[in-house]
Structure 1
Amino acid sequence: MANQDYPLEAMLRPPVELYSSLCAGAAASLCFMAPHTILMSPQVGYGCSAVLASFACYRLQQAHQVLRYQRNLKRLSAFTITTNRIPASSRRLWLGQGFEWRQKHTQRLWDCKTVHAEQYIRPSRGYCLAREIERRAERQPWWQPLAYLTHLDTRLNPFRPLPPLGGSTILHGVELREHDQTLELENRSGHVCVYGTTRCGKSRLAEILISQDIIRGDGCVVCIDPKGDAGILKRMYAQAKACGKEDEFYVLHLGFPDISARYNGVGQFSRISEVASRISNQLAAEGNSAAFKEFAWRFINIVARALVELGKKPCYELILKYILDIEPLFIDYAEIYLARQGAKAQGWQAVISNKERSMKSVPPNMRGRAKRTCALEIYFSEQDIFDPVINGLRSAVRYDKTYFDKLTASLLPLLEKLTSGRLAELISPDYLDLNDERPIIDWLSIIRKKSIVYIGLDAMTDGDVAQGFGNSMFADLVSTAGYLYKHGVEEGLYGGEDNKLPKVYLHAEEFNELSGDEFVPLLNKGGAAGIDVVAYTQTKSDVEARMGNLAKAKQIEGNFNTIIMMRVKSAETAEILTSQLPTVSINQSTQVSGVNDSSTPGDSVHFTSRNEDRISTINVPMLEPSNIINLPKGQAFALVEGGRLLKLRFPLLKEVDTQLPESLKTMTTAMAANYKTSEGWWNDLVSSAQHYDPFAQHQTEPAHSSTDESQNEAETESVDFEALFEQNALHVNQEGEPE
């Protein structure tokens, strides 16, 4: 490496150290083999040979550093690991391989932008010629044998194609020494946000982080996936099985009701008013809609209180049923209430029956109501009875039915979306149906059991239902977080510890699809209850568009203490990271040439010239948005721990074969058919190489391919990484304690 004592590093230049290394090596050989030719005794010759050989090795090592640096700017080695070798730690979250970005890396990046550096970062003429041969081979058969050779992905091929990662390799090539980069779990409670455009590797990063959470085994792991990525589902099950927790693995997928777990988003609560809040919060609250939202909250609360008093668990289907027709609920509750009063309401049945028979017409204010309802209402108005639930139901039935329908008009579309078709089986489960073997889950139970849950919302089929169901889950989780914060996870259990907080690792894929008013308190207060959120989205504008409010979008953005920024296509999104970085000073060299002449006859100097290099210092941003936009697939910048900037690249996971249950196999096959991804680029690379036919008469443009030799090379490099992981990573046992 260049000497850091000099102001300019000068790595983009010919490796002149090779010349002195060759000369020193030749002199060392001469001194060792024939010292008499230079008038040395053998003892002196051997000593000089050792000194010269050491100097030759030192200069060769410097030349190798320069050559390796220049090669690294053009091509990075493959980074793959098998899924059973993912590093895991009880104290740290492994983020990938990389380095801490500092001022020297900004300096090197700036050096690569100069004119004289172009020859060291651009593809060589031979590389361009090889690609031209491959293009000509499509139409001219005589080029195809040569195209086959130039297309081989092996180190013996100096013109092998680059992997289809896109972006600029310079951003990671400016540093030769990369190491494992981790995030302390204590800092993870501030939540993590991953930004990245479509098909840049977000889902593969999610697989790596989720796998570590499952291996750690110290808490519940939940992945909410609006679109449905079969790769994440397979990885979660495979890792759960590897850890012996397949019995605690649940799948809730709205697109596959036959094999999905069931969940009642309003069935668990600390206060009955939470039921109304979870549902009504999804209604519009701007302008005139605010009043209708308040009416909707009131009527839902009346229905929920009555259901609880009747011993029924609230669910969307029952709430919709009684919002459409509240009379049966009023009659059922009123009769049960009066029956419980005993002597206080003696003879009530006969009195009400007489009123019902003698009633010729219903009162004008109760037009459209049944006579039984009117008789009960008259009876209660005549008696000195105070019951909050009765009074609420009475106020509801006293409304004119058409007027009541108008007040609840904004609520009915939401409830019908969530209870249409077979979706009602999942979110309004029948607890008394013993023939239904599909499990029913709730947040408190899965948190206590440290379960692993995959939730597929099937947003590509019906986005409105996915958003409504997702917001309901978040509202339920916020309520559960409040309960855990007050009482702990073991409250009410025999021998339980007081105020013991759980660990919940929540991964929200495409969280902009789920963003709502319920997501904000989850980020604000969830960390205090042990909930660590990792959210994945594409752009800053996605959240703003979903929230419909810039202030709320910034509120969500401000709750993420750790930012992982993959390739994005919006400078505004990239500035979320770059605007938080300082400016740094870099050195630049300026060439100055000058000529002076003198016309004085008596002057002995008639002409002078000078050439000089001036070094100046300028302040530049540590990173620019364009650097984020030019990232290759599977690479990212991460701002962690309040200002430490990391440059990362993530491995391609090589899945170890795991037999899926028949139900999951059917689900993942259907999901893979509907949700395409190109993030497994290396698999496509290998496949294209194995099927590459240089003698085909009609062939599309050859994709970047790989041969068996390149596979062996990648596996060899992977073994090196695995050995590195064994040395550096701290593995944990089933109980989550360090081994």
Structure 2
Amino acid sequence: MLNYETDYRPNYEMMLASAWGACGVGCAGTMIFYSGFPFVTTAIMTSVFFAASGYQAFFAQARRARMDKLEKAEQNFYSMDALREQMRDGALFLGRGFEWTIEHAQKVSDLYRDPRRLAEIKKNRKGGTFLHGVGMADEDVVFVNDDESKGHVHIVGTTGSGKTRCFDLLVTQCILRGEPVIFIDPKGDHELKNNMEMAYRRLGRGRDFVFFHPAFVEESAAINPLATYQRSSEIASRLASIIPTSSSGDAFQSFSHNALNAIFYAVEAAGQRPTIFDAQRVLAEGFGPLCVRALLGWSYSMGPEIHRKMTQAMGGKTSQEDKAFEGARFYQEISRVNPSLSLAEMNNLCSLLLHDKTHFQKMVSSLVPAVGKLCSGPLAALFSPDPQADRMPKSGKVISLKHVIDTAGGCYIGLDTLSDVDVGRAMGQMILSDLASQAGGLYNFPKDGRKRFINIFIDEAGEIANEPMIQLLNKGRGASIRMFVATQTLADYEVRTDSKAKAMQIISNMNNVIMLRTVEPETQERLAKRLPEVPIQYVMKTTASSMGDNSITGAFAKNHGERLMSEDKPIFAPQSLGDLSDLEYFAILSKSNYIKGRFPILEAPEEDYHAPRAEHYSEPVRSFRYDYEAIEETKKALSPEVIAAERPREKPPVLDVELEGYLVPPPIERRRWLPIFSWVNVFPTFRKGDRVEPVEDRFVKAHGWPDDEERDFGWDRSSDVRDQLAGESADFNLHNS
């Protein structure tokens, strides 16, 4: 780059423009006042000076505009209607930005080498606005295509950098596209939850949104993370995922996993829907009552004769424990005589029942507290709902993630880790295990014509990172699962998983990265390693001096030199990630695109709204039929009042009013540019056709004067006129919008 020139040198063009202009003025004054030249002659002869001054002023102004943009910080606000207009098929809108090139990297590197100018820009305390200012002239709308985002999106940013606004923007677009949305938030963000709910209500789908939060017992829906499964062994694996592990605890974990297998097989054999509370009750009270129901269920399935013998074997005992022991012995005897009646799951259940109780309690010592904390207090009804056991939430709502996915609904899950870290993490890991099971079902048995993404958003993912989350990232793409995972630092994954290898698995399985402001140096360096290195030029100045051979004469030599150097550096400087302003980001997309952008702020939908017309819905929403029958089946046990409260309210009609007689004048700031004689055409009531008949007269013409009976009842003409006026004003505003 032999013609290297920094943008941050002094504005020599402005100096030249001033010098040429001063020379032109001086020459013109001398020629007119001292030499007596005519004005025309003077103008022609000095035009060269002013032309040169204007030429240099043009480049000086362009340079000054570029410098001003370095300190400019803009924020864009979008309503839901404006966002809908900005969306396009097959892509998600990411705000405004530009493609980051080596030219922008060179400008930022030059600025970092100019501490004085850098300090002037940063003194406004708006962050590194120069990072976006170097390319603001090329700014345009930014999209991430579905072909890119299906490889999952990693969002990295410190507190207050804009992760919530990013989630708000992406979640709303997924809702408008008619795709399932499941948001897992360890801390619980009320604003984001409210925005999700209002987005569904604005689409007339308020009943398709549910939320779970253990702190809001009155309003929260209940989730059973064990409700859907293909094999009973899956349920045991989900619950075993929350057991604390250590290098010396593998035997304890294996025994606990085996015990959970037996428990949930017994629950299934007894004809019940498994919940976490069932496991807790067995671990606390023993296998007796559950084994009795399981053995009776097994014998019933084997025929009436075996069922009669099993009943007789248990009939002589009174306690549940004794009945279970006698039933287990009968099962072992009859299966020894007839091996075809033997089942591996029943053998495991009977062996645990007959196992030494002291040794059993020792082996499941790590399982008992892990399960117990998920059933304590209100979580018994919120996380283990069971209508048969009269264990239902106060809101009366029971949901499953499978139903949310099948109906393309939305579910916000707040884990309240700020109040109870251990319980919040355990719930999050159970939900991720349930989602991994759902992904396995969709992968094994794909539904014909499934084109919708299943969008899973996870904030503060380091809090709940586990093996099922890695499986979702690794294999969820085949089940149309698209994940958006956010964290503050990359070290959060390593701390939670206690393994650097697993942390790298999580990071490397996300093809797209959105980097907001992050101040942790190690995170900055690790993110920069994904970037290509490009040659960055700089000028190296050298100065040297030396004495001559004859020191008596005092001769000496001095030289000064400048060399143009080049050094390979990442296209995004790592320290730039710490200088990003709020809502600004660098993005690495899977198609090798490098984007510098800024997120808009999505305005919260208002409570009073008019539902959009059908043509404004996205194609998936219009073509998809929602299955509400399954919801009604889950509400049979509820009271009629609760069912009536859950029914969606009628959508307000979309008004299409054509008002006659109104002439809307242009804004006042535009009127001053109109000729004086044209003002009469822009102000209403100047022409006969522009005049609007008073509302009172129009009301009387339409309804007539009140009769004697209306007067007797105190008819107030002024109140009706005011109501009429308010209605027309609302219709007029809706028509103009």
TM-score (norm 1): 0.72
Contact kept in structure 1, 2:429 and 2:464, CA below 8 Å: yes
Partners of 2:308 and 2:399 in 1: CA distance: 45
**Superposed displacement of residue 197, structure 1:** 1.4
- Residue by residue over 1:572-630, the C-alpha shift from the partner in whole angstroms, topping out at 9 and shown as x without a partner, is 10122211223222333355779999999xxxxx9999877543433334333222122
Other-structure match for 1:374: 325
1:441 to 369, 388, 399: 399
Partners of 2:412 and 2:243 in 1: CA distance: 27
Other-structure match for 1:546: 496
Instruction: Call closer, same or farther: CA 1:400–1:60 in 2, change over 3 Å.
Output: same
Other-structure match for 1:321: 281
Instruction: Call closer, same or farther: CA 1:484–1:61 in 2, change over 3 Å.
Output: farther
Partners of 1:653 and 1:18 in 2: CA distance: 45
**Superposed displacement of residue 89, structure 1:** 2.4
**Superposed displacement of residue 354, structure 1:** 7.3
Q: Aligned letter for 1:459?
A: T
**Superposed displacement of residue 551, structure 1:** 0.9
Q: Does residue 175 in structure 1 map to residue 135 in structure 2? A: yes
Q: Does residue 243 in structure 1 map to residue 193 in structure 2? A: no
Other-structure match for 2:432: 474
2:472 to 522, 535, 547: 522
Q: Does residue 8 in structure 1 map to residue 5 in structure 2? A: yes
Q: SS where residue 136 of structure 2 aligns? A: coil
Q: Aligned letter for 1:311?
A: G
Other-structure match for 1:275: 235
Residue ranges of structure 2 left out of the alignment (5+ in a row)? 610-668, 670-737
Aligned-CA RMSD value = 3.7
Residue ranges of structure 1 left out of the alignment (5+ in a row)? 128-160, 358-367, 490-497, 601-605, 661-711, 713-739
Other-structure match for 1:305: 265
Q: Aligned letter for 2:63?
A: V
2:82 to 70, 73, 85: 85
**Superposed displacement of residue 544, structure 1:** 0.6
Which is worse superposed, 229-238 or 266-275? 229-238
Q: Does residue 571 in structure 1 map to residue 527 in structure 2? A: no
Q: SS where residue 258 of structure 1 aligns? A: coil
Partners of 1:506 and 1:351 in 2: CA distance: 53
Partners of 1:609 and 1:651 in 2: CA distance: 57
Other-structure match for 1:558: 508
**Superposed displacement of residue 567, structure 1:** 1.7
Which is worse superposed, 300-309 or 284-293? 284-293
Q: Does residue 286 in structure 1 map to residue 246 in structure 2? A: yes
**Superposed displacement of residue 205, structure 1:** 1.6
Q: Does residue 425 in structure 1 map to residue 376 in structure 2? A: no
1:461 to 419, 429, 433: 419
Q: Does residue 647 in structure 1 map to residue 644 in structure 2? A: no
Q: Aligned letter for 1:6?
A: N
Contact kept in structure 1, 2:295 and 2:328, CA below 8 Å: no
Partners of 1:654 and 1:382 in 2: CA distance: 71
Which is worse superposed, 405-414 or 382-391? 382-391
- Residue by residue over 1:644-688, the C-alpha shift from the partner in whole angstroms, topping out at 9 and shown as x without a partner, is 22222223344353369xxxxxxxxxxxxxxxxxxxxxxxxxxxx
Q: Does residue 210 in structure 1 map to residue 207 in structure 2? A: no
Contact kept in structure 2, 1:70 and 1:121, CA below 8 Å: no
Q: SS where residue 419 of structure 1 aligns? A: coil
Other-structure match for 1:338: 299
Partners of 1:328 and 1:474 in 2: CA distance: 31
Q: SS where residue 443 of structure 2 aligns? A: helix
- Residue by residue over 1:154-204, the C-alpha shift from the partner in whole angstroms, topping out at 9 and shown as x without a partner, is xxxxxxx83x53x33332232232222221111111111111112222112
Partners of 1:354 and 1:537 in 2: CA distance: 59
Q: Does residue 503 in structure 1 map to residue 456 in structure 2? A: no
Partners of 2:439 and 2:451 in 1: CA distance: 10
**Superposed displacement of residue 499, structure 1:** 6.3
Instruction: Call closer, same or farther: CA 1:27–1:547 in 2, change over 3 Å.
Output: same
**Superposed displacement of residue 255, structure 1:** 1.4
Other-structure match for 2:727: none
Q: Aligned letter for 1:312?
A: Q
Q: Aligned letter for 2:417?
A: A
Partners of 2:241 and 2:513 in 1: CA distance: 29
Q: Aligned letter for 1:393?
A: L
Partners of 2:464 and 2:224 in 1: CA distance: 18
Partners of 2:592 and 2:410 in 1: CA distance: 32
Higher relative contact order (CA 8 A, sep 6+): 1
Contact kept in structure 1, 2:213 and 2:220, CA below 8 Å: yes
Partners of 2:333 and 2:537 in 1: CA distance: 92
1:407 to 363, 379, 382: 363
Contact kept in structure 1, 2:212 and 2:413, CA below 8 Å: yes
Other-structure match for 2:348: 392
Q: Aligned letter for 1:649?
A: R
Contact kept in structure 1, 2:241 and 2:430, CA below 8 Å: no
Instruction: Call closer, same or farther: CA 1:339–1:531 in 2, change over 3 Å.
Output: closer
2:485 to 535, 538, 541: 535
Q: Does residue 112 in structure 1 map to residue 111 in structure 2? A: yes
**Superposed displacement of residue 290, structure 1:** 1.2
- Residue by residue over 1:696-728, the C-alpha shift from the partner in whole angstroms, topping out at 9 and shown as x without a partner, is xxxxxxxxxxxxxxxx9xxxxxxxxxxxxxxxx
Partners of 1:9 and 1:193 in 2: CA distance: 35
1:76 to 70, 73, 76: 73
Bigger Cα Rg? 2
Q: SS where residue 93 of structure 1 aligns? A: strand
Q: SS where residue 259 of structure 1 aligns? A: coil
Q: Aligned letter for 1:110?
A: S
Partners of 2:517 and 2:157 in 1: CA distance: 5
**Superposed displacement of residue 251, structure 1:** 0.7
Contact kept in structure 2, 1:95 and 1:180, CA below 8 Å: yes
Contact kept in structure 1, 2:296 and 2:307, CA below 8 Å: no
Q: SS where residue 373 of structure 2 aligns? A: helix
Partners of 1:285 and 1:593 in 2: CA distance: 63
Partners of 1:346 and 1:546 in 2: CA distance: 50
Instruction: Call closer, same or farther: CA 1:79–1:12 in 2, change over 3 Å.
Output: farther
Contact kept in structure 2, 1:21 and 1:55, CA below 8 Å: no
Q: SS where residue 87 of structure 2 aligns? A: coil
2:152 to 171, 191, 199: 191
Contact kept in structure 1, 2:314 and 2:324, CA below 8 Å: no
Other-structure match for 2:309: 348
Q: SS where residue 584 of structure 1 aligns? A: strand
Contact kept in structure 2, 1:563 and 1:639, CA below 8 Å: yes
**Superposed displacement of residue 60, structure 1:** 3.5
TM-score (norm 2): 0.72
**Superposed displacement of residue 37, structure 1:** 8.8
Other-structure match for 1:231: 191
Q: Aligned letter for 2:105?
A: T
Q: SS where residue 244 of structure 1 aligns? A: coil
Other-structure match for 2:704: none
Other-structure match for 2:62: 65
Instruction: Call closer, same or farther: CA 1:347–1:594 in 2, change over 3 Å.
Output: closer
Partners of 1:350 and 1:104 in 2: CA distance: 84
Partners of 2:140 and 2:50 in 1: CA distance: 32
Partners of 1:47 and 1:221 in 2: CA distance: 73
Instruction: Call closer, same or farther: CA 1:61–1:312 in 2, change over 3 Å.
Output: farther
Q: SS where residue 207 of structure 2 aligns? A: helix
Q: SS where residue 460 of structure 1 aligns? A: coil
Q: SS where residue 265 of structure 1 aligns? A: coil
